Structure 1
Amino acid sequence: MAPPIDSTRFEQIKASGDLPSPKGVALAIMRLANQDDVSMPEMARIIRTDPAFVGRLIKAANGVIGYGRRPIASVQDALTVLGMPAVRTMALGFSLLTNYRVGTCQEFNYANFWSSSLAAAVMTQLISLKTRAAAPDEIYCLGLLARIGELALVTLYPAECGAILRELAADSSLNQLELESRRFGMNHAELGAAMLADWGMPRVFTEAAYQSAISSDHDYPEGSRERAVTDTLLLANATGALCVASEQERGVLTRRMLMLGSRLSLDEVATTELCDNTVKSWLDWCVLLNVEASPLPSFESLHLAAVQTDAAELPPEAEFSPIAATRHVVPHAAPTKPRVLLAMPDTVVRTAIEKLLCDASYEVSTAKDTGMAIELVIDYEPDMLIIDDVLLEQGGENLLVQIRHTRIGRGLFVLLLGQRVDEEFKVLAYEQGADDVVEKPVSPRLLLARLNAGRRISSLHQELERDREEMRHFAAELAVSNRRLQEVAMIDPLTGFPNRRLFIDRMLQEWAASTRNRRPLSCIVIDIDHFRRVNDAYGPEVGDSVLRQVCQSIRSALRTQDMVARTGGNEFLVMCPDTAIEAAQACAERLRAAVEGADIVSGMLKLRLTISLGVATRDSSISDADTLIRRAEYAVEVAKKEGRNRISNMQMHPPGH
């Protein structure tokens, strides 16, 4: 189970508004999809307001039905094929891709992040069509968003993440998750899992995203859905990394993909076919979404090259983290020239002013129309903008307003060039967002003087932004300190297990999820048999040593999704999400057998201990989480009365009998 981010902390991060989140039509689609009584025609009407999303939705639907079937051509048919949950998640994913394709962390390669995520999405869908591990439309969204925690961290803390990426580039032996945890009190795997859960992704998806981010090794049972989804995502992420990897890295990734394919019972032929089909579809998606992509050689040729490569040079067992593909280390450079965007349609005048500014040591980029101007404001991130009023007269009267609504545009110094700069012109210019106006034809000396004034204003904006960044950094450090204090307050210092307070908090969250998704939830209470005798006979130091060893046995017998807490001197609580009574009984038996079979050693002393366990599973007679725990506590008392070293459950011994 993914370690939880403190719920209060996560809500604070969400409330800040800095987390990647859907915007515009995508947000309307998501809200509408959450309504129980929404109709297909109503949803189709909202979707049709975004032609770009219409094309993406229809393409996704055609990918689900496979080849040889009548192609989907309408929004209504696409909705029928995909269903509301998948449409909701696709709207989320495509909105994030559109709105977060660039950012302020220079060391993070945003283009590679989205390109590799798209390839992973396509691969998960194609694998699921073969393995049936999950619905192809839903798992496509998982592939696209599985690494969202990486994007979220660099969005929240661009400077700090940049420093971490530089450290990793300088020393590849460092562990990124550990560096993030020390710096932020959380890592991208934890944050990503929390975001996916908050967006309503199924637990099996959030767990797969977390597991694939931390390691390719897992202990999910053979044949389980968790294992199939996680291995699917691991193979898909390796495919995404291959699509953006350098030639030197492809050998490692090719071998890794074949190994991961074997986990899914895919032979070399099947894996080769999947990869080639993925690359073909990925290139189509990249064109549709305007994402960078370069064609790859066939997987068969990559495999052949990998086989011929010296094994010592490219070890087949080498791990490759998908995040490595998003590192883009930029060395610290000397202070750059002020950047000016010059937007005017007249080529002759534009060229003359561009030369004037370049001679005055400005870095200049030019745009000839309103669309190019808005695009360059976002991509080029200028310090100042010079814009000709002719562009406003050519249907771009809201251009300044649009620019001011962008993140970059809020602090941009805007100088408007006008043919007749009278009072009415100035008032309108200032109302629309201009900072200064200059009359045409432009006087070179006056233009440079006004730009110098704008340069001072721009510098003040930059200083203010640096101050804000320092405050955000301080707030992040304070949040980390608070998180660590909270963790100390919620962790039992002797065993390292969560205490009852943290357990109840998580139990309430799981109860709500169980109610919402109609999934089973079980609870186990553990009592160490005759533990007081150990303390009385050998003293508290031996007792503490014995207790820690018993806890190790308990921990080793738990499944990944289970949570255990110490609630008393020798009492423990175990929460088992998505677990019916039979599976909970089996889990309890593993715990009992693990403790009974453990050799407890303290100095010259060797002991054998046992535990009694009470099991309770949610049913219609249990109204809340407290009642579920009380039922398990009642069951463990029955087990102790019946002779200890055994398991009792509430179905066998209901209260009052």
Structure 2
Amino acid sequence: MPASPLTDPEILQALTAENRLLPSPSAVALELMRALERRDLGMRDIANIARKDPALVARMIQLANSAIFAGMRPAVAIEEAVLRIGTGGLARLAIALSLMQASKATNIEGFDLRRFWMTSIQRGLVFQYLSQRVGKMPSAEAFSLGLLADVGQLAMAVSLGAQAVYIGAEGSVQALLAQQLQQYGYDQGDASAVLLAHWGFPQTLAQAVRIRPQTPGAAGSREAQLGECVALSRSLQLRPGGVAADAGQMRSLAEHLHLSESDLQGVLASAAQDMAGMAAVFEMKLEQAEVDAEFDRLRRALATPPLLDEPIADEVLIVSKDAALRLGLRQALESAGHALAEAATPAEAFEIVQIQGPRVVVLDWADGDSVAALCRSLRTERGPRIYLLALSRDMEQHAVLNALDAGANDVLFAPVLPQMLIAKVQTGARATRVLAAAEAERSHGLRTLRTLEQRNAELLQAAGTDELTGVGNRRALDAFLPPLFAQAAAEGQPLACLMFDLDEFKRINDRLGHDVGDQALRAVGRVLRQQSRGMDFVARVGGEEFLMLCPQTTEEAAMRVAERIRAAIAVPQADLPPLSVSVGVALGAAGFADAASLIRAADQALLQAKRLGRNRVCLAPTASSAAASN
């Protein structure tokens, strides 16, 4: 009897009530997730929580220096890692890192744990690059969601055994999900969603990992597109040998997200490039040759035409005015599995080649000059991409030379032995397939090269820009701040650092939805751009946190600028709830050891503004006065 569908609390209880304990995130990782709910905590507080786990700090710094987060200079402190990865991304990646560490102590007979985490890392990279193209999530949060999208599979393997998640070589994911629903009342996608919500992921992200058939009617909302993006990253994930990738599903999902085959090939190329380095962050050793072989199977499955699937037998065109000869040849070739087309005249044959494109043509040379003319035309037009086999009743040398001179690949003498005919046709078909595959490979290589060149140009332009708000991002800040701070210190010039935090942003998101939240962030970014000078630098450094650097700006001027921006953001705007920002101002460079110290001072002033009731500006004490008070 099929099991009744379980509710989310019942699924969680079922997963945790078994005899075998599930691998769980560390206490520090869970504390970081809880800290995201508190608006009185800043980057420094997040960094201090992370310091409770030195191994986590080391891996986070390594992650901040990896290809997908690296700035212009290496991060050496946890504060720099928090700034670069973001507080939300860091907390969710801490869940993944600690979960992987905990799973190493788990022994599941018949479940390939290394394969599971290798696939998870690849899926995280794919989802991150997909998200960049459709503009749905910041890099760190996208990577962590893709990484943990199938954590329910691990949970079910631990609690129920490997057979609960096993897909045979002839099986499919959909068949497995149906079997899980029938047997347990939930599937591995439900288990993933329940666990992510239990660990503190927002409901929007947790629900996106549920596995459902994708329906075009659901397209449009942010949640539906996020779910489609997760589904596409699953479709593009690595698969064990023998389990075929569903190229049709890949293309269908890509169409919903307005992505082309070239876009998907570019995503796979980027993920393959970063795979080995990212695996090292998770203490998994992967050779680049292994990575290339894994991705090559996916790339070939996705290519048009597919480069992996070689047809068993090609279509053959028989050209002869002799109906009895055509019938005999048809019977012999159909017995070998070939599809057949027939033409009684050269004109009819030429039309069939143009429309159906058979790669093997058998020509009755007894039909005279018209067949020789057809042979020349096909060779001129198709070159080596077509195999032409001449059947001759004349065994004289000149007849053979005439056929070869007209462009035939080979000559077979009548009467024809069926085994010899089949052998000749299959040899020719194999040669044309190899050539077609080589040409498709070369064409794909050129397309990929053009895609990567275009993508590199886009990345160079967009690398320093926050996609949502149009201001700078953390990478741009990394490049801009150190030389600016050094110059201000060397010349004795003031450098003002202003930190802005959009008040009650979580409440806006929860009550009005992420689309309104995004509009609010864009509005703040627009005001900051409008109120900044040409020499100023503006960046978004966290979910709702922005930073402005104002060179050659005194304390009085910096406070004036901060107050002017605070007032401008508070002006009512159509289609938006009332907005306000809390602002922290710190003045350097004198008295601060480095740029990071200046940012920390502004961050502490921002926290003070929030503690005092939000929607206000607070000035950090100067470094010298702070030292004196201590």
Question: What TM bracket, shorter-length normalisation?
Answer: 0.3 to 0.5
State the TM-score, normalizing by the size of structure 1: 0.41
In the superposition, the TM-score normalised over structure 2's length comes to: 0.43
Relative contact order, higher structure (CA 8 A, sep 6+)? 2
